[in-house]
Structure 1
């Protein structure tokens, strides 16, 4: 990963207009924010810049308005939530460019915080249009990107601005990049990856990248069934992409060539219906009943996973091992997550996890705060794990 500039490289910013890209794409119901996690994550950067006397101008998107103003996707809906998290008055401008934005910026005193309207209300945002980017840049002296979750998009407010203004990573972006560097960029070895979830088809690029970069790859969830089937094992009525057997075999061959051990379940918890507390039994994978489905990996498989975690110096995790949303099929995910958390707290493991289901699963297990880093970035985290360059990160390089 190329070196990037952080807030530590910023000096004498009192009175400077800082365009700060943040992720405020929070869930809202009945006009109220229901989860302020993303606001809380960017609060340190906002408050630090404000405390240093900068004029902090927040740029963000909200929903997918497709280049047109949409009332229920206005950032005005979340101003009160931002106020509450920051403990500060946050001003609001009803546009992110043009006279309204310019006038609001012009009224700012040192240390003020201003939230501009949804950047995606303009078609130029997602097109990274030079003219739109230039209009955004006119209201700033410095660009700070603290939205890793949007870094996989080459949009005006995530990538374009860095070509017009001196560009820096905010504290959240910095923490994310440093954690990811420890996870796969320059990790302590052995490195073990756990990848779960429903389908291989959504994670082909991810698996192909990981087998070249980790020492062991644990595959769980529905996608493990596709690998089992590719090895000639009957998986009954389990979720399985039989048409991807060739892909699974190719990934296993690439792993072998790269000296990466593929770890598949040796037993499973099976049931005849997909519902909470359904009658279930533990069966070795070679004996899955034709009328049953695997809903979780079995206890011996959990022990195998824990054994690999015990060997690891670095763990990267994306996706649950089973149908963790319904009991008792959350058992394997919870057990493995808690074991990884114990080793992390003991100082013997660097653990980096991310992805929507993964975050939910770690929260369910009560250990999200015990991992070294848990990314809420979704698509950006997945693309990083796939080995793809993220435009919003690349443009922050010190060589720019």
Structure 2
């Protein structure tokens, strides 16, 4: 599919419905400034500058959760960069009149789209999101790659009823970056604490395994890590049958490079142990120096790199030595580098390495992983 972009249409005077991603952390009831809000500015500003009549729809949190709040605060944060008016409505008379009264270059933000049940359940009839908003716009723009795997009304139904549709600048950037890591010899660096997600990415490409994922890979081939082995089994890292998962994982490690040494925490003091020195009665908190050297050599040879999740525990900077060394090597690599956002982005911020050193730092979670795993994204399909 060839993705249409903002360059595909004459935007002047057009009524444009922009599905943005403004979902941010909420701390003590306060919406925090986020990279998602900042990244949305490019598309919003371009639409305004080109004379479009812009209406933004977005979500915050999920119904019933503490972070499920109004988008009024998001609008205030957007206004630090670009003029946007908040409309305390979604499909009622106030929303409709506000949309119809938009002038060229004007921009409004409607309230949390997930206030409407039909956003999350596309089978609800009648669907006011489609029935009301669908008939008011000339162009639909999806700039929310992070929810492109969700069958939600604003993602899959609105682009069906609005004739012209395309991706926004952020979505365009995400898709272009993902195309570059789709090459056959892309190197995957898989860490973090989500082994069930990572196993989907073991599709034949060379993988460097770190973090809790690296530990569970070692356990699957019979390595007794002692305390860490017990910890892995007792936590809820694997939702299904643990032993069945280990058996499945063991059969997919052909192209996976595992740690040669690991760092343990002995009452606040760290010590590297080679794998043949285990089991240990202490927690594993990082990859060791021999593993770092082995992994860095692979990174230097890679034409493209996808890194997901830290390679050690992130609660103490002492435990981040291995992860920081890997990040430094990726940032200096001549190959294209894509960083899976979220937790790893936070680690980079603490490492002192500029995000600009990486070719692309994704703001997406589930959608990114599904794309990398070769699954189709309904939100992208809807733009075709």
User: TM-score under structure 1 normalisation?
Assistant: 0.87
Aligned residues: 371
Map 1:195-214 to 2 at 5 A.
Answer: 195-200=190-195, 202-203=196-197, 206-212=198-204, 214=205
Does residue 1:354 correspond to 2:340, yes or no?
yes
Are residues 1:385 and 2:379 paired? no
Structure 2 segments unaligned to the other structure (5+ residues)? 235-240
1:141 aligns with 2:138: yes
- Please state whether the residue corresponding to 1:197 is helix, strand or coil: coil
- In the TM superposition, 1:66-145 aligns within 5 A as 73-86=69-82, 88=83, 90-128=84-122, 129=124, 131-132=127-128, 133-145=130-142
2:150 corresponds in structure 1 to 153
TM-score, scaled to structure 2: 0.91
TM-aligned CA deviation for residue 233 of structure 1:
1.4
Within 5 A, what are the aligned runs for 1:1-400? 2-11=1-10, 13-29=11-27, 32-65=30-63, 73-86=69-82, 88=83, 90-128=84-122, 129=124, 131-132=127-128, 133-165=130-162, 166-184=164-182, 187=183, 190-200=185-195, 202-203=196-197, 206-212=198-204, 214=205, 216-238=206-228, 239-241=231-233, 244=242, 246-256=244-254, 261-273=255-267, 278-343=268-333, 348-365=334-351, 366-397=353-384
Output the aligned Cα RMSD.
2.1
Gap runs ≥5 in structure 1? none
Contact 1:226/1:245 (CA < 8 Å) preserved in 2? Answer: no
The worse-fitting range, judged by mean Cα deviation, of 123-132 and 237-246 is 237-246
Q: Is the 8 A contact 1:193 1:315 kept in 2?
A: yes
Alpha-carbon deviations, 1:311-356, whole Å to 9, x = none? 110101111111033131100100000111011xxxx210111142
Report the 3-state secondary structure (helix = DSSP H, G, I; strand = E; otherwise coil) of the residue aligned with 1:73: coil
CA distance in 2, matches of 1:71, 1:240: 30
Q: Quick check: 72-81 or 157-166, which moved more? A: 72-81
Distance 1:359 1:388, change over 3 A: same
Q: Check conservation: 1:18, 1:144, Cα contact below 8 A.
A: yes
CA distance in 1, matches of 2:7, 2:260: 50
After TM superposition, what 4+ stretches of structure 1 lie above 4 angstroms from structure 2?
A: none
Q: Using a 3 Å threshold, how does the CA distance of structure 1 residues 167 and 125 change in structure 2: closer, same or farther?
A: same
